[in-house]
Structure 1
Amino acid sequence: MSQPSTLRRQLLRRKPLHAFTAESDGDGGLRRTVGPFQLTMIGIGATIGTGIFFVLDSAVPEAGPAVIVSFVLAAVVAALTALCYAELASAVPVSGSSYSYAYATLGEFAAWAVGWCLLLEYAVSGAAIAVSWGQYLNDLTERLFGFQMPTAIAAPPGAGGYVNLPGVVLVALCSLLLVRGTKESAAVNTVMVLVKLGVLVLFVVIGATAFHAGNLHPFAPMGIAGISSAASTVFFSFIGLDAVSTAGEEVRNPQRTLPLAIVGALVVVATIYLLVGLVGVGAQPWTAFKGQEAGLSTILGDITGAGWPAVLLSAGAVLSIISVTLVVLYGQSRILYTMGRDGMLPSAFRRVSPRSGTPVFTTLLTGGFVALLAAVFPLDMLADLTSMGTLVAFAVVSLGVLILRHTAPELERGFRVPGYPVVPSLSVIACGYLLYELPLETYLLFGGWLALALVVYLLYSRRNSRLETADGSEAPVKTST
């Protein structure tokens, strides 16, 4: 066999579906300790970050009161992808998320590239979230105690400081909790998610008392273009639902639990967002949102004439960042674990502690890398790059549904996308549209990231893949120990 044909075979080989089942059900791997409610909370915790507390300040000036329609459009796009995730998660219930789905449908290098996209999504977004924690923590301590940490240790270089110490501490604590055990981490996350949901529900209840229909006129002062622009702005508040699929090997009855949690998280998030958006634009004129940096707390302060809403909303933002950071670190460590088990990364990545049932090395390495980014990098410039990685992963999942329905129609699925093939096709188109809207420099950076992925694959991963054998056939895949 010539070298070009060997390389082509390596790039395109797909992991057999039976191998996924054998790995997830084998001994020495991750433990199934998470139930449907806790898994739903993981999805909500990863999705509802600080964005909803402040997104109206930028979205309402773009669309006016019609931002409600923008939320609906963004929810529809998110739902298209979430339904595709639900089907693939029920058919291939492993911890690799869209990396594993691509491995089963598009081939090894496509899976490797998607894995790198996911690492970009989780690592950079996790670090960016951790960077902002010091800011929100300072805001809360200032309101409660009249005290703030010095900027030198509360912000990274480029943002007025030397090192972002609060971000490092946050990532370290979340990493140690994840090392302790998935069950314990899921329980802590559930408590924090319920608290921040309570804060948002309280905003809706109090804000509704000041609702005036007159504030909804004119409804769409910026027209269709404004609604579309605002939809792109608020769409990224829905990113995070894919974190549910990274728990595929740690949930009980995954074929039922995974799609239930994905759809359940989407319904809760979309409902909360729509209510917050509706109450927000009904409680004050849409022109008042421009330059209103304090977000929801300003609206509550104006309604109540008191200072406690700002404290409450600041506390909600602090808890949101903790829960999002926890789930981001969890998701990335599970993706790295799966890539290590496939031989795409060194074997240390697939080692599981017999005591806690968690990939300790992978979790600590992930935490250390994210903490380093949070400590010394202002990551605003990489926000669009993170979005591109996320959208590519979303599009691959939707393509995976189309391909797997054709190549494995008999495969047992706990959930099937309704409206097939229209829904997954629309999901691909929607992701493509949002990708098209990203700036040129993002494409250049993304191209460089994929070029690095190609180099690592050619030098290491293709030769160490567990599908690689001397004669080029697919090797049996054993469970990790």
Structure 2
Amino acid sequence: MDQTARPPTATPPAAAGAYEASLSRSIGVGGNILITLSSISPASSVFILGGSALALFGTGVFWAFLIAGVVSILIAFCYAELASAYPVAGGDYSLVSRALGPAFGVATFFISLISLPLIIAVFALGVADYLGVAIHGLSPQQTALVVVVITTVTACFDIRTNAWLTGVFLGVEMAALALLTVLGFVHMERPLSSLLSPEVLDPATGQLAPLAISGLMLAVTQGIFAYNGYGGAVYFAEETKNAAHSIAKAVIWSAVITVATELVPLIAIMVGARSQTELFGSSLPVEAFLTERAGHAVAMVVMLSIALAVINAIIAITLQAGRLLYAAARDRALPGTVAAPLQAVSTKGRVPVLATVVMGAIAFAACFVPLDILLTATGSTLMFTYLFIALAAIHHRRGGTARPGYRMPLWPLAPGICIAALGLVFVVTLLDPEQWLSLGISLGLVAAGFVYFALYLRPRRNTHLLLLDAAPEETR
């Protein structure tokens, strides 16, 4: 891996109206989708978030994850339209900055700057749980530190290598989801119509009872979180061929595949379990179903494949994190002395190596933070990111910033429903005192972003936060 850095440009070429083409435009729609799906990790979402939802909400998971899937695809429409108009590296930060305004963009940057490395740490701390089925006595923290180092180094390889590598790992976890689906539908114990009435295990009686509307709303929020990550395709816009036309496809297909590969196995588990009361009463429902239908040996192999899926997700999220910091440095959203080295790319692979390493180092340090604190710190950030994306999609059309490219269907239904759904999530969060600290941290990050913009960036608007277009695409 060639880590020789290109000298960073002192000031982005404002006269040209576009950035210099620094990243390697070498992956197609398929490669982008592979990396994006890897960051979502549908298999680990089913086993961890889906399993938790089954225990808490029973058959309510069917309606909740179906509703969450519709909301997620509508949010994907917003991402797709914005990314088609602004095919610039940097993900949510870049889209919001250009379509909604730099103040909101900087607030989004603050959210992503903290949440991405913390999410990496959360995933890394969970790897030992799955490797533990074969290697006993693993320390979660020591395992996490090793995983973060390995994945950060891997993320510094060129984008095509990472697309191939994450694609191989993704195939393994998709095979695990296919196995769950087949086991459930081959051994159906009840019809699909049994899922239409949401029921949850009543601890007092040990029997199924109707799920309250409030519980269903909570389940929808968990479903939205489980599907999250399809917007990650935008981070690789400057490395995707013909991005102005293809990046929208990458976002939408990532969302559709994610919803299908998570919802269908969960349905199969609910109709294929011998006893729903035992399934919902298990501490690990998905693992319990797998052991029941396939045996302990197969379950162990699948658990190891989930460990690979989690590591794969960490690689993909580290790739995104590096491009976030690189894009912000290139925009001069950071002080000049900090921004200059962070916008450098390697000569051979054209990868933002230093920016990737810095984000990996933050994730490494976060592994020393207790897991419950990490979960609290990242719990509500998604709500604000999606809100800003929906508002950016509206302003993109109505504020005179609309450009040629993909146009979402049924405008303005998608952003309108997204905002309404996020309002519901906000209300549910406010009603749960256990979520107040998480909400407070997210609000603090947003406020810090606005303050940083007002006090530091706005007075320097002639030299900082220069939001230029993507470079013209060249054929390689």
2:457–2:464 CA contact under 8 A, matched in 1: no
The 5-angstrom pairing of residues 17-166 of structure 1 reads: 22-23=18-19, 26-27=20-21, 29-48=22-41, 50-139=44-133, 141-142=134-135, 147-149=136-138, 154-155=139-140, 164-166=141-143
Give the TM-score, by structure 1 length: 0.84
CA distance in structure 1 between the aligned counterparts of 2:469 and 2:40, rounded to whole angstroms: 33
Give the aligned partner of residue 431 of structure 1. Answer: 422
> Contact between 1:97 and 1:242, CA under 8 Å: does it hold in 2?
yes
Superposition CA RMSD, Å: 2.6
Residue from 227, 234, 243 that aligns with 1:245: 234
Matched, 1:406 2:398: yes
Q: Which residue of 1 aligns with 2:215?
A: 226
Query: Number of paired residues?
Result: 436
Cα distance in 1, alignment partners of residues 165 and 288 from structure 2: 29
Give 1:328-343 correspondences, 5 Å limit: 328-343=317-332
| Structure 1 counterpart SS, 2:239 | coil
Q: Aligned in 2, Cα 1:391/1:478: closer, same or farther, shift over 3 Å? A: closer
Matches of residues 367-446 of structure 1 in structure 2 within 5 Å?
Answer: 367-374=360-367, 376-408=368-400, 411-413=403-405, 415-438=406-429, 439-446=435-442
User: CA separation of 1:409/1:347 partners in 2, compared to 1, >3 Å: closer, same or farther?
Assistant: closer
Aligned to 1:327: 316
Offset of residue 93 of structure 1: 0.2
1:86 touches 1:258 (CA, 8 Å); kept in 2? Answer: yes
What is the SS of the residue equivalent to 2:112?
helix
The equivalent of 2:189 in structure 1 is 212
Mark the CA change 1:318 to 1:119 in structure 2 (over 3 Å): closer, same or farther: same
User: Is the counterpart of residue 202 in structure 1 residue 193 in structure 2?
Assistant: no
Partner deviation per Cα, 1:101-149 (whole Å, 9 max, x = no partner): 222233222211111111232121111111111222222x24xxxx433
- Structure 1 CA distance, aligned partners of 2:437 and 2:151? 33
- Higher mean C-alpha deviation, range 54-63 or range 332-341: 54-63
Name the structure 2 match of 1:362.
355
- Distance in 2 of aligned mates of 1:348 and 1:458: 25
Separation in structure 1 between the aligned mates of residue 174 and residue 165 of structure 2, nearest angstrom: 14
Q: Deviation at 1:88?
A: 0.5
What does the per-residue CA deviation read over 1:370-413, in whole Å, with 9 as the maximum and x for residues that have no partner? 01112x11232342442322221111111111111123466111
Quick check: 1:61–1:286 contact (8 Å CA) kept in 2? no
Deviation at 1:52, TM superposition (A): 0.8
Residue segments in structure 2 that go unaligned for 5+ positions in a row: 1-11, 199-209, 430-434, 472-476
SS in 2 for 1:351: coil
Tell me whether 74-83 or 442-451 shows the greater mean CA deviation: 442-451
**CA distance in 2: counterparts of 1:418 and 1:334, whole angstroms:** 29
- Structure 2 counterpart of 1:40, one-letter code: I
* 1:22 aligned counterpart, secondary structure: coil
Alpha-carbon deviation of 1:58? 2.8
Give, in whole Å, the separation in 2 of the partners of 1:222 and 1:477. Answer: 49
Q: Which amino acid aligns with 1:124?
A: L
Deviation string 1:200-256 (CA, Å, 9 cap, x unpaired) is 101111222211116937832214333322222222111111211111111001022
Structure 2 counterpart of 1:313, from 302, 307, 319 = 302
Question: TM-score, normalization: structure 2?
Answer: 0.85
Partner of 2:169: 192
Does the CA contact (< 8 Å) of 2:152 and 2:315 recur in 1? yes
- C-alpha displacement at 1:185, in angstroms? 1.0
Structure 1 residues 261-299: Cα deviation after superposition (integer angstroms, max 9, x where no partner): 111111111111221111111122332233423332321
The 3 A distance-change label for structure 1 pair 467 and 84 is farther
1:97 alignment partner AA: G
1:358 maps to a residue whose letter is V
Is the contact between residue 107 and residue 448 of structure 2 (CA under 8 Å) also seen in structure 1?
Answer: no
Query: CA–CA distance in 1 between the matches of 2:189 and 2:296?
Result: 23
Which runs of 5 or more structure 1 residues have no equivalent in the other structure? 1-15, 156-163
